Amino acid sequence: MGVAVLVVILTVNEGRLRVLLIHRSAEPHQAMWALPGGIPAPDESLADAASRKLGEETGVSDVYLEQLFTFDGLDGDAGQVAVSYFALVDSRSVRLREEPHWEPRWFELDELPELAFDNSTVLETAMTRLRNKLEYTNVAYSLMPREFTLRDLQAVYESIYGRSFDKRNFRRRMISQGLIRPTGRTAASGAHRPAELFEFTSRQPMAL
């Protein structure tokens, strides 16, 4: 039985949730878009293979990465197993792999092309997991810079859930749960008054 690793790499850019896809240059499913993945090297653990793949595609490593689910037969072969992971990255720190035939590209989740290997099922599973994780963890830290405005953080949450939040309730919830704290600094925001800057109380995975 063959085992492959798939990595769902998510980011938020310009207020839109996006996933990283690669363009397949060979069969099967040549010329279709797919999630990054591959076969672990000899003596390489699945987690190490996922971390390596994440680094190859984005140039980052110190981000949130979690095993998602094990799928059987995504390519129609019941003997093929794919162990999926999902990662959250700040697109401002990413350097996409420079590979002409690979063509790594960010796609908005509501404007996806047809995906190879039933990867849409993997992506749907990742989105369900992410929305659930935001209810009781701080994993959004991996999508944000060290310091950010509350408006920017709310935009990230809204892009993931696909709906708007009340500004006051969102602020109250984030602070009361101990997820963020004010830095005492501000940032200029066009003609508006400077916006208060916040930071996560921890930039390591933390459950509430």
Q: What is the CATH number of the domain that holds 175?
A: 1.10.10.10
User: Do both 41 and 131 map to the same domain?
Assistant: yes
Last residue of a domain, one of 102, 136, 170: 136
User: Do both 179 and 190 map to the same domain?
Assistant: yes
User: Do both 109 and 168 map to the same domain?
Assistant: no
Q: What is the pLDDT of residue 73?
A: 76
Q: Is residue 206 part of a domain?
A: no
User: Do both 109 and 183 map to the same domain?
Assistant: no
- E strands, the chain, are 2-13, 16-23, 33-34, 37-38, 64-72, 80-88, 105-108, 148-149, 180-189, 192-200
Q: What is the pLDDT of residue 152?
A: 95
User: Do both 82 and 160 map to the same domain?
Assistant: no
Q: What is the pLDDT of residue 79?
A: 62
Q: What is the pLDDT of residue 13?
A: 93
Residues of the chain with confidence (pLDDT) below 70:
1, 75-79, 190-191
User: Do both 31 and 129 map to the same domain?
Assistant: yes
Q: What is the pLDDT of residue 144?
A: 97
Cα separation, 20 vs 103, whole angstroms: 10
User: Do both 20 and 103 map to the same domain?
Assistant: yes
Q: What is the pLDDT of residue 40?
A: 94
User: What global pTM score does this model have?
Assistant: 0.93
User: Do both 82 and 184 map to the same domain?
Assistant: no
Last residue of a domain, one of 85, 111, 136: 136
What's the total number of domains in the chain? 2
Residue 159's closest CA among 37, 2, 18?
A: 18
Q: Is residue 7 part of a domain?
A: yes
